[in-house]
Structure 1
Amino acid sequence: MKILKHLVAFALTLGISSMTYAAVTPPPVNQNMGIPDSSFEDFDASLCLSCHHAIQNDLDALSNAPVNRGYNPSRHHLAIGTDIDGKPEFPPFRDADGDGTNETVFGCLNCHKLLLNPATGETEIENVILANFRNCMNCHTRNKGPLTVHHATDRAQQGNCFQCHGGIVRGIDVEKQEGKKPHPTNPGETVPVSIPTYQTSMITPWRSKKPNGDASQENHAGTEPGNCNFCHNTADGNSGSTDEPLTLPNGETITIKVYSNMDNHHNTGFFEDGRCGWCHIESGDITNGSGFITDSQSIRICQRCHDRSSLHNIEFDAVGDGIIPGGEEPYFGHIGNQKNCWGCHGNDKRVQNEDGEWVDPRTNPELRNQSTDGNSTLRRGVSGALIPTITTVTPRNVADNSETLVTITGQSFVNSALLDRSGSDEQYEYTWTSKVVISDKDGNVTAVIEPVSQDATTIEFMLPPQTSGHYLVSLQKAYQVSNPLGLTVLPMADVDQAFIYTPFGSLVAIFGKDFMDSSGLSPNQQNGFYLVDQNGNAPIEFYLWKDDMIVALFADDPETVTLTNVFGSKVISLDKY
């Protein structure tokens, strides 16, 4: 009966969920959670948009002009008037006015070209004509080796990996070379990661090449259970990559290249940046790789970012009926099935003695402290706070200085589990819930909000009035955090005074702020700046369009005018003088 339920749920969710069904038996690992196991040099715009996705263009009802172009374009438009500093990249047209000197402040024409459309006789910005204008890779190029655009940020350089990866990756205290993770009750603060100091045992995972792995269950890549690369690897276990399907939040399925565990870490750019000590025990000359120590203790270095409280709470709801630790299909996480456990902890029941020999501890009493029952079973329903995953945030564009109801969808926002009651054999059920964390673009927490409502897959919360800018929305559930998604707060036009000055005919003057400077663009010519009256008629002449003032002459006195810029539209009533 349960198999039938799983098949029905699978059929219902296949076309609409963000899940991806790779080969159920790894490697490669199923690409359902976290950033794909690929290299940024292979990313294309569609994969970028799995995190930075935009909504479909809206059209202004009066001017039929494209406005409010979605989260990602709005995020770029917020750069207008800010310094051009090359972070993350310089714009395509640094000398937009052609005077031989690069601009130091962003304007529209640093990213857009003006072209004359012979069919209309009007100038238009290039993206109306050029279909491939919004290809992220036109500007955000990436070659293998150097730091990626993400890992060059201050957040990454400060070791705050979890601010992008969520609870799947912890972080590094770059001064102490120790692991750190989010504080369980004070979002924005961190606490040290707890790493075991006791003797490793037969169940201790290895990154790869575990001498006492379970050779009886070798997978198709030739890797044994007990190693990280039992799952996190290419299909054949060799260098190179494996093509795998990935379903994006919008339902589109693309093909990505999945790399080995080692290549995924090195391709971040931290290897070339000299951050080897973040992931390796260094001893001697490391220029040729011989200075890295690889033994049973190496996993302790991995636990700086991948500690037990993270690894033991990673699971994907492949069926869509809620996550039951120990009761899920195998290989969609770490704790859903006994096979998942064995993939990490598999062994052949041997341990290493003082002479370096691998022996059975049951016949060597002095080594019994390294022995663990290799046949122990996963306790169904027992877990901690499962790592939440955000798939969508709606809306991703909101107006500044206004309260907005925001909806988040994803997985594991709420989960219940059985816990052992201290001092007894009894168990009790505990439920973990999430809080919404709002951060600025640098990861600094600006607000912590209790949801209006929440369940395992949906959260609604009221976003208090914010100043314009780019923000990150994430969840914190005890000591776990989710991946973030961006939210752009738009500077909507704010009118102080608007009137018709009749001594000069139907001359309309508007004063206020956040109108945006048209930066040399001719308004009402397919470039994001429009002013029309209540009947859709444009001015016969524009005299001025600045961020705080607009002056235009109409043929007849308007009753109202609609001001439109790249962030939206506003209907304005007019006085008459």
Structure 2
Amino acid sequence: MKNLMFFFATALLTITLTFAISPPASADVPPPPVNQVLGLFDATIDFTGADIDREFCQQCHVGSQVERHHALVTPTFGCFECHTLTDGTFAEFRECTFCHQTSPHHTTAEAQARHCSACHGSLVADYDDGHYIPSYATSSFTPLTGGVEPDPTNHPGEYAGGCKACHMEDIGQGIASNATTHHGIGITECSWCHDVEAEATLSIRKCEDCHDVNSLHNIQADSDNDGVITPGTETGGYGHIGANADCYGCHVQSFLAFMSTTAAEPTIPSITSLSATVLTAGQAANLTIAGESFMNTSGGETFTPVVEITKGDNVVILYPLPAFTSKELITPVPATLEPGNYELRVKKDAVVSNKMTLTVAADVQVSAANLTEETIVITGSNFGNQPGETTLGNTLGTVQSWSDQKVVVLMPEAVEGQTVTLVTAAGAVDNTEITAAKATAAVKEKIKGRANKGSIKTKSTK
């Protein structure tokens, strides 16, 4: 049973730092290729390429990865899983590919179980969620996996009645074909997409195992930037239900005008960026979320968003939201969230967006670091009771004791005036300059020979 918490909006601190994904260049209107404004881009990633570095990965994995990775630390997953120390020197660990040497995408338990919604939200269905798949034979109105060329003589390469009407390759914009994107995402079983026992191995009914009727008819962006999505009145090429031209893309003989009496349905929201990916525990904040399809009007009904933040079985619903349009919303985040990694999604009625990771880090405060011979005593607050690590440059100290307000670490190389860094098990980081405690004769001699002259004040920086 999930634990639900509803949080109601109040005036909170606004966060202004914005991270954004850099999409391919704007596609054609009308497509192909399709405009890349919803969900993930029609592209694949070659992890053997020279361009795969931290900057490349952060196009999608926005914000600081330091706190996100430190929040993974548990009694069975420690610091040295990532930080390799040899003769007092750390091996390089800041480039993603030093650990992720093959694509980490679609290797998770959820992905291998074909539970696509865990990351993609309602844009893709789970194959075993009981969604509707037509059982009747395909007809001239049924979309094809590719499509047909209505006028190959005068308009060669232009398709209708299937996915290729919009989802076509464009090398210049880095957009891949359907075949490339599906074969390049780590799918290990051909039968997941192909009916291997049928004469025609490509069947729309197999596609509907994941790309179901309901999700396909609720994918739409706000093409005219009026702050709301109204199916049938949008510019063609920005989704599946914006205009008649979008209908023709899938249903080649569907020349019926869009009917305003269509049953009310929420379009599927999609998140592209968060104004901050790391928040401080104990501090309320306002978070700005950018994306598409956060609100829409359908069948005379307006669908509005809520924000859902989850960690395990704990679910926090943030509602009502102080401000939102189809492309941006502001949500209050309560000060009650415990440190750790959370999954954040936007929901409208029964449909849900893709997943974003929000990290809540403890507000660690280092007040002093006193040196006594070869030992540093670090005092402050919110260190946690599980040991983290302390470093002096690239040198890792030996922790002798660790509590929420005091850490004792052995560092023979330390002298007054140097900076010691403390990283808690939850990933919070702070540092301070070392000062000498009541010095013994040995310490005084050490300071005299190696430390900077003058009075040094202890300070804490974030």
Common topology (TM > 0.5): yes
> C-alpha displacement at 1:344, in angstroms?
0.8
Matched-pair contact (CA < 8 Å) for 2:271–2:290: yes
1:452 and 1:462 in contact (8 A); partners too = no
* Counterparts of 1:135 and 1:335, CA distance in 2: 41
Give, in angstroms, the shift of residue 25 of structure 1: 4.2
Displacement of 1:193 in angstroms is 0.9
Which of 156, 159, 176 matches 2:114? 159
1:341 to 239, 247, 252: 247
* Equivalence for 1:491: 362
Aligned equivalent of 1:279, options 193, 204, 226:
193
User: How far apart in 2 are the matches of 1:265 and 1:73?
Assistant: 31
**Matched-pair contact (CA < 8 Å) for 2:269–2:291:** yes
CA contact (8 A) 1:218 1:224 kept: no
1:444 to partner: Cα distance: 5.5
Contact 2:365 2:430 in 1 (8 A): no
The 1:467–1:550 alpha-carbon spacing in structure 2 relative to 1, beyond 3 Å, is same
Does the residue aligned with 1:74 lie in a helix, a strand or coil? helix
> What is aligned with 2:290?
409
Gaps of 5+ in 1: 1-15, 55-69, 85-104, 116-122, 128-132, 143-147, 174-179, 181-191, 236-241, 245-256, 284-290, 348-373, 420-428, 530-541
Residue 518 of structure 1: how far off its partner (Å): 6.4
Tell me whether 1:49 sits opposite 2:58 in the alignment.
yes
CA distance in 2: counterparts of 1:134 and 1:498, whole angstroms: 28
- CA–CA separation in structure 2 for the residues paired with 1:260 and 1:499: 58
Q: What is the rounded CA distance, in whole Å, between the counterparts of 2:357 and 2:204 in structure 1? A: 33
Shift in Å, 1:169: 1.0
Residue number in structure 2 paired with 1:137: 97
Corresponding position of 1:459: 330
SS for the counterpart of 2:46 is helix
- Structure 1 residues 545 and 79, CA gap change in structure 2 (3 angstroms): farther
1:161-560 equivalences under 5 Å are 161-173=116-128, 180=129, 192-208=130-146, 213=148, 215-216=150-151, 222-235=157-170, 242-244=171-173, 257-270=174-187, 273-274=188-189, 276-283=190-197, 293-294=200-201, 298-322=203-227, 323-347=229-253, 374-379=254-259, 384-417=265-298, 419=299, 429-440=300-311, 446-456=315-325, 457-463=328-334, 465-493=336-364, 510=379, 513-514=383-384, 519=389, 522-523=391-392, 525=393, 547-548=402-403, 549-551=406-408
Partner Cα separation in structure 2 for residue 31 and residue 112 of structure 1: 43
What one-letter code is carried by the residue in structure 1 that aligns with 2:329? Answer: T
Rounded to whole Å, the distance in 2 between the matches of 1:220 and 1:108 is: 57
Structure of greater relative contact order (alpha carbons < 8 Å, 6+ residues apart): 2
Q: What is the CA distance between 1:507 and its match in structure 2?
A: 8.5
1:78 to 71, 74, 81: 71
How high is the TM-score relative to the length of structure 2? Answer: 0.71
Query: Quick one: distance in 1 between partners of 2:154 and 2:216?
Result: 21
Structure 1, residues 143-162: CA drift from partner, whole Å, max 9, x if none? xxxxx412111221232201
**Letter aligned with residue 68 of structure 2:** R
Kept in 2: contact 1:82–1:106 (CA 8 A): no
- Provide the C-alpha distance between the structure 1 equivalents of 2:117 and 2:314, rounded to a whole number of angstroms: 13
Deviation at 1:346, TM superposition (A): 0.8
Label 1:265 to 1:543 Cα distance change in 2 as closer, same or farther (>3 A): closer
**Residue segments in structure 2 that go unaligned for 5+ positions in a row:** 1-19, 439-462
Give me the whole-angstrom Cα distance separating, in 2, the residues matched to 1:514 and 1:154: 31
> % of aligned pairs identical?
29
The one-letter code sitting in structure 2 at the alignment partner of 1:279 is C
**Contact 2:33–2:169 at 8 Å: present in 1 too?**
yes
Amino acid at match of 2:200: I
Retained in 2: the 8 A contact 1:18–1:391? Answer: no
Q: Distance in 1 between matches of 2:244 and 2:217?
A: 12
Deviations 1:502-522 (A, max 9, x none): 9x9x99563763388565x64
Give yes or no for the alignment of 1:567 onto 2:441.
no
Aligned counterparts of 1:219 and 1:434: Cα–Cα separation in 2: 45
Within 1, Cα distance between the matches of 2:22 and 2:415? 53
3-state secondary structure, aligned to 2:407:
strand
2:83 to 104, 110, 117: 110
Q: Which residue of structure 2 aligns with residue 355 of structure 1? A: none
SS in 1 for 2:60: helix
Q: Which amino acid aligns with 2:40?
A: I
Per-residue deviation, 1:376: 0.9
Aligned to 2:449: none
Q: How much does 1:474 deviate? A: 0.4
Taking structure 1 as reference, are residues 114 and 377 closer, same or farther at Cα in structure 2, changes over 3 Å only?
Answer: farther
Letter in 1 for 2:232: G
Rounded Cα–Cα distance in structure 1 between residues aligned with 2:154 and 2:161: 12
Report the residue type matching 2:117 in the other structure: F
Provide the C-alpha distance between the structure 2 equivalents of 1:409 and 1:78, rounded to a whole number of angstroms: 25
Please state whether the residue corresponding to 1:309 is helix, strand or coil.
helix
Q: Distance in 1 between matches of 2:99 and 2:172?
A: 25
CA offset digits 1:200-243 (Å, max 9, x no partner): 321110102x5xx45237896635311212222224xxxxxx23
Structure 2 CA distance, aligned partners of 1:317 and 1:113?
54
Q: Which of 34, 42, 49 matches 2:39?
A: 34
Distance 1:206 1:543, change over 3 A: closer
Q: Secondary structure at the residue paired with 1:550?
A: strand
For residue 455 of structure 1, report the CA deviation from its aligned partner: 1.8
Structure 2 CA distance for aligned equivalents of residues 280 and 344 of structure 1: 20
| 8 Å CA contact retained: 2:295, 2:305 | yes
